[in-house]
Structure 1
Amino acid sequence: MTGTLKLDTEDVASAARSMGTIVTNLERADADASALAGMIPVPELARAAEDFAGKWDDRRRTLIEEINALKEQASAVAEAFDAADSSLVDVLTRPPEQAPPTHPGNIPV
């Protein structure tokens, strides 16, 4: 069975970079929520915003860890495929090595 495997490593690397941006935004979310709560003039709404931010912390930390793991895996996949592609190109474009001379019976000299 033969098939073709096509992988745009730049797309995978771009996805990894996007995940990094998501992590950065999630890390800033706590400060953003606190700043937002400070801008809300209604005390009950301000407390609700702070409460939500506090409850969201645990889930956000978990998401950050999971997204970081995916980001690292995506980066590793892109790097591994680029390295494999480079190695294959090198092997397939390298001039063939000359075989050593042989005697009758195909015995090397």
Structure 2
Amino acid sequence: MSDLIVDLQLLTTSAKQLKEIQTEFRDLGAWKDDIKSVVGAPELKEAMTDFIDNWDQNRKRLIDSLETVGKMVSGTRDAFEGLDDELSKVGKKK
């Protein structure tokens, strides 16, 4: 029988980093008005607006995906911690 080794610290760090990335993507929305205000040519402004609108849609999907993956990582960590606690209790009873 082989032992399963789970790096709980890595899972904790990964969940934290995913949350930080999610926050960074969420905060990127503020720059779009700044960009629109410095572009003078109407054609360029229209193209930039189309790009920004597309970016907003894709950024939202990325944020949602980051949240989902973060919850999975946290859930995995919590499940292994719970299992480890239960196995520890069983081991102490013997």
On whether the aligned pair clears a TM of 0.5, the verdict is yes
TM-score bracket for this pair, using the shorter chain length: 0.7 to 0.9
Q: Which runs of 5+ in 2 are unaligned?
A: none
TM-score normalized by the length of structure 1: 0.71
Q: Per residue, is there more helix in 1 or in 2?
A: 2
Q: Is the CA contact (8 Å cut-off) linking 1:30 and 1:53 kept in structure 2?
A: no
Counterpart CA distance in 1 for 2:68 and 2:55 is 20
Q: Which runs of 5+ in 1 are unaligned?
A: 97-109
Counterpart CA distance in 2 for 1:52 and 1:34 is 13
Find the residue that maps to 1:43 and give its secondary structure: coil
Find the residue that maps to 1:23 and give its secondary structure: helix
Q: Is the CA contact (8 Å cut-off) linking 2:25 and 2:59 kept in structure 1?
A: yes
Structure having the higher Rg? 1
4+ long deviations beyond 6 Å: none
Aligned to 2:51: 52
Matches within 5 A, 1:1-109: 2-35=1-34, 37=35, 40=38, 42-44=39-41, 47=45, 49-94=48-93, 96=94
- Superposed displacement of residue 58, structure 1: 0.9
Q: Is the CA contact (8 Å cut-off) linking 1:34 and 1:53 kept in structure 2?
A: no
Counterpart CA distance in 2 for 1:50 and 1:14 is 36
> Number of aligned pairs?
92
